[in-house]
Copies of this chain bind each other. A is one copy, B any other.
Amino acid sequence: MTAEPRQAKRPGRPRGASDTRERILTNARELFARNGIDKTSIRSIAAAAGVDSALVHHYFGTKEQLFAAAINIPIDPMAVLVPLRDTPVDELGRVLPSILLPLWDSEMGNGLIATMRSLLAGADVALVRSFLQEIVTAEVGRRVDNPPGTGRLRVQFVASQLVGVVMARYIIGLEPFASLTPEQISETIAPTLQRYLTGDLPSLY
């Protein structure tokens, strides 16, 4: 487990380090937006920022953690996705929203929603696309790739429902939808997500 030098280093950190961190983040944001996450290496970000790769790792940890920092997400996406590896595929539809809704409802979620809103408004929508296409689709999609070749689409239908919940609940603020408990939302959408993940979707084959 990588430590979190980002927060640990903050107090009393000399001015130069702060500038360097910002320069790394700016270059990371540009390269992730232009080339996607998979095709962007820590090395290329370091080169663009004029620093050593080791320094980037030291400040930000993994590429996923750097991505999260670059788009201002206060959580490593892999911290949510990796534990899902132990969830049986036929329980993902229920477990996925039961993790995400409380997270989004939390204080941490506020930052996440604000980020999503500003990304969607601007040119940086490519960052959301990369995140969903490359990190989420890759992580979950290979487990539900049945019949072969459908995994990516299955996950993207799940993403469409989850993004819609974020919009309806936090951004549009539909009432009474926005005032439901996280459990009410999770339980209502769980069968939908499970069908998208493992159900029969004939029109996609």
Whether A171 is near chain B, meaning CB under 8 Å from some CB there, is: yes
Q: Closest Cβ of chain B: how far from A116's Cβ, in Å?
A: 10
Query: How many A residues touch the partner, as a band?
Result: 35 or more
| The one of B120, B187, B188 that contacts A121, using a Cβ cutoff of 8 Å | B120
The CA-CA distance from A184 to B161 in the complex, in Å, is 16
Say how many copies of this protein the assembly contains: 2
Whether A147 is near chain B, meaning CB under 8 Å from some CB there, is: no
Interface residues of A in 89-145 (CB under 8 A from B): 117-118, 120-122, 125, 128-129, 132-133
The CA-CA distance from A204 to B179 in the complex, in Å, is 12
Q: Are A125 and B160 neighbours in the complex by a CB distance under 8 Å?
A: no
| The one of B120, B169, B195, B204 that contacts A192, using a Cβ cutoff of 8 Å | B195
Q: Are A161 and B161 neighbours in the complex by a CB distance under 8 Å?
A: yes
Give the chain B neighbours of A191 by CB distance below 8 A: 195
| The one of B133, B176, B188, B203 that contacts A188, using a Cβ cutoff of 8 Å | B203
Q: Are B163 and A159 neighbours in the complex by a CB distance under 8 Å?
A: no
The CA-CA distance from A157 to B162 in the complex, in Å, is 11
Whether A152 is near chain B, meaning CB under 8 Å from some CB there, is: yes
Interface CB pairs A-B, < 8 A, 28: A120-B120, A120-B167, A120-B171, A121-B121, A129-B174, A132-B168, A132-B172, A133-B175, A153-B180, A156-B168, A156-B174, A159-B164, A159-B168, A159-B174, A160-B164, A160-B168, A160-B189, A161-B192, A163-B167, A164-B164, A164-B167, A167-B167, A184-B203, A184-B204, A188-B201, A188-B203, A188-B204, A192-B195
